[in-house]
Each structure stands twice: as structure tokens, then as C-alpha cells.
Structure 1
């Protein structure tokens, strides 16, 4: 029997024992690599949570906490993947050489991603907005709920979550509605001449003077503009704290237009 297998061994150029040994080692390395991935990803998530706790204790800006946590988790997972690849015998030097040779193509493919990453860093450095600010950007208006490495999450008034890429976001126009302590309320109403218009103006001025949420400085204003043959546009301007803006604006608008109904 040994005599029959010798020619086959010579033709194939290796021993059966070597095949079994190679397959055994490969299978073991695959198992170890899978274990490295599972354990490594779990530890990466744990590391992210640890970074979050440490930064929260140091009272770091919430947006920066979110950014650094995501950066820690992603960097850790990349390291885990490289470690698992090394266990399979994939040389990192060869891998880096391949990436270098394909650098131009990869750079073009990921130019948007790199731009978003740079945008995320700029947002945290320049701070055009922070978490819980209400902003308008890229045709979207809402509250900032999360600032991540590549994207910023916005919750709209109708409870939709919109994800904005950080690159275009930082390069575009950003309107921050909550950055300043005061905001102005502007209400414009068409008022017919006569028919109690003077009484309405008087009631509006009295309301502005006595409303607890309306600030005394800057001073409120009530005046007519754009005089038409049958009516003029009554402008009401007042200032409130930013946190009161929406509620006071709605309250005044409803009240004033109710007063106007009998005169229209």
C-alpha cells in the first residue's frame, strides 16, 4: 500500500499530513480571529462608554463627548480588525502597500467622508452650535440632538430625525436661533382704517406693557406701514427671552388676530 501512495505523493508535491496540518492551523486561526473580533468589538464599545463617563465627570461639552466617544469606538474597532487580519497571516506591510498604491482612488472615493470628518472637528472647535440648540441649515430646521464624527442629527418640530453631513453643514449657512439670550417677535397685521383701529392699537400697547414675558429693553414698538386705500399694515415688535419666543409669539398672534376679526 505504501508503494502505491508514493507516486501520488510525488505528483502532488506534498504529504497528506502537511495538508491536514495546514488546514488545522488555518481553522484554528479563523476561530481565533473570530474570537478577537467578537471580544475586541465588545471591548471597543466598553472603551467608548468609559470615555463618556470620564468626560462627563470632567464636565466636558456634550457635543465633544459624543464626538470623542465615537472616535474612540471606531479607532478601537479598526485596530481589532487589523489584529484579526494579522492572526490570519495577512501581512500588514502588504496591506499598507496595497492601500498606498490605491491611494488616489481611495482618496477620491472617500473625499466626502474625509470632508465630513474634518467638518465634525471644525464644528467642535468653532462651535457654531451645540447640543439642544435650534438651528436652520441645509434647508432643515430643528433641534441638534447629536454631533457625531461624520454627521449631525437634527430633530424637527414634527418629530422627524434628519441626518446632516458635517462637511456641507460647516461650509454652508447656519442660523442659530438659541445662541443669543434675546429674540425679537415680529407680527404684521392688516388693519382697516377706522372701525376701532385706534382701540386695537391701544389694547396691543397695553398688552405689551403688562405681559410678564416681554422685556422692557429693547422697547416694544407698534406702528403702521404700507398704507393702502382701505387698510394699513400694523407692525408689532417686542423682545423676549429666547426660551419664551415660540410660546409668546403664538399667544400674541392669536390674541391680536382675535381682536381684529370684528373690524375686518
Structure 2
């Protein structure tokens, strides 16, 4: 019997097995093809949904990529199982690798988890002026592992997301208005009623100061060398710093014009002549 005859005989005897293999291979290819399409569609849909909620584009792209590769990994395992390859060992290897990576990247994973919580609870958004982790600035972006701030003097500060959630978060942009808190000290010789009138007049003359809530001008304390007044006008959040700077200057000028002294620390030195 020649080789051709042996091959023909083997093919006839194993025809059903070959057909089954062909069907399994075709099914595995179909699983891979459909799985790749589903992975791309799911990733794109998630990115589109997150962008529609005005989340940071870096985060939406990262989450979409993770979903895509997770689906692809599942599809590959399913295709390998369809053609008869034992996948239990592959799953165990992937699990062990994931555990090793997780242990090595505990800090990064905590930052990632904190980033997910920041996205979910949204204590601030891009553009808000916040105070977090002992620093303050405008939120430039919320990234995978860090939050990027931009300070008023144009410095970039990168804060780990875990540190953001590990302390207090002060968001100065949440509300439309803010209160300016000023403390002004005047001499004990000053007339208190006149001083209150001058301080209130300065605030009322500034167009950025809101009529409601009303301006608070009151005696705060009787300090060692001055009577301290508290001045608390309300302004729109965007006018806070310009209004504060101008009010401080205008208060100084108004008190000078009214002849009201602003005391400053002094030291008296007494010289005694010793007898010869």
C-alpha cells in the first residue's frame, strides 16, 4: 500500500473527527472575531458614556481600555477552550500574575481605587479651586492615579489620589458666593461708632459686594494694643480675591482720611544711667 492510499484510508477512518475539529476551529475563529468586535464596541460605548458625563478624558480612555482587554482575555480563553485546549492552567497563571502585580503595586492600586471614588462621588471637578492634601489650586485634571492642580502662580502640583481622599477636601467653587473675612485693628482712642460707619461705607461703595447677605461689621475682640473689628462682606466666588485686595487698600485709606489710627507693634526702650 502506497503513501497516498494510506493517507486516503486514514482520512476516511477519521473523517468525523476531522470534521469535528474543523467545526471547533471555525467556532473558535468566530468567537475571536465576534469577541473583538464586542470588546471594541463596549470600550467605545463606555468612553462615550463617561465623556457624556463630562469626566476626564484620560480616565474614560483608561477605563475603556481596561474593559476592552478584559473582554479580549475572556474571549481568548473561550476560543482556546472551544478547540479543546485545557484553560484551567492559563486561568491559574493569570490569577497568580495578577496577585503578584497587585502586591507589587499596592500603592498604585490604592491611588487607582481612590481615583474611581473621586469620579463616582465627584467632590470636585476640573476648574474648581480646591484645597487638598495640604495644598491649594485649580483642578486641572483627575487622572488614573493622581489629581493635577494648577496654582494661581502657574505651578503644577500632582497629588496622589489616595492622599486626596485621605484628608479634608475644601472646595471653594461649589457655591456661587463666598464671604470675605477681614480683621481690622484700630486704636483704643478711636470712636467705635465712627469706625463701624467707615468700614461699612467702604464695603457698600464696592459694587462687587452683594446686598444679600448683609455686611457684618462688629467688634471682634479687645486685643493687647488694638480694638479689632471683623468685616465680613459677601461677594461672588469669582470676585473673591480682587475684592479682598481692593477692600484692604480702601479700608486703610478711609481710616486715614477719617483720622482713625491703626496701631502697630511698638517697643519702648528705657535707658537708665548708672551712678559712678
Picking from 113, 120, 129, the partner of 1:134 is 129
Deviation at 1:78, TM superposition (A): 9.4
Picking from 154, 157, 182, the partner of 2:152 is 157
Q: Do the aligned partners of 1:55 and 1:65 also contact (CA within 8 Å) in 2?
A: no
Aligned residue in 2 for 1:114: 109
Aligned residue in 2 for 1:88: none
Structure 2: runs of 5 or more not aligned: 1-39, 73-86, 263-276
CA distance in 1, matches of 2:204, 2:132: 35
CA distance in 2, matches of 1:95, 1:255: 74
Deviation at 1:132, TM superposition (A): 0.1
Deviation at 1:224, TM superposition (A): 1.1
CA distance in 2, matches of 1:74, 1:165: 21
- Residues paired across the two proteins, number: 208
SS in 2 for 1:62: coil
CA distance in 1, matches of 2:224, 2:144: 58
Q: In proportion to residue count, which structure has more helix?
A: 1
CA distance in 2, matches of 1:147, 1:174: 14
Picking from 204, 211, 220, the partner of 1:209 is 204
1:70-114 CA distance string (max 9 Å, x none):
33357768999xxxxxxxxxxx98776444335544322111222
Q: Do the aligned partners of 1:142 and 1:157 also contact (CA within 8 Å) in 2?
A: yes
What RMSD over aligned residues (CA atoms) do the two structures have, in Å? Answer: 3.4
Aligned residue in 2 for 1:72: 64
Aligned residue in 1 for 2:54: 62
Aligned residue in 2 for 1:167: 162
CA distance in 1, matches of 2:225, 2:145: 55
Deviation at 1:142, TM superposition (A): 0.2
SS in 1 for 2:153: coil
Structure 1: runs of 5 or more not aligned: 1-43, 81-91
Q: For the structure 1 residues 246 and 229, does the alpha-carbon distance in structure 2 shift closer, same or farther, using more than 3 Å as the test? A: closer
Q: Do the aligned partners of 2:124 and 2:171 also contact (CA within 8 Å) in 1?
A: yes
CA distance in 2, matches of 1:230, 1:175: 34
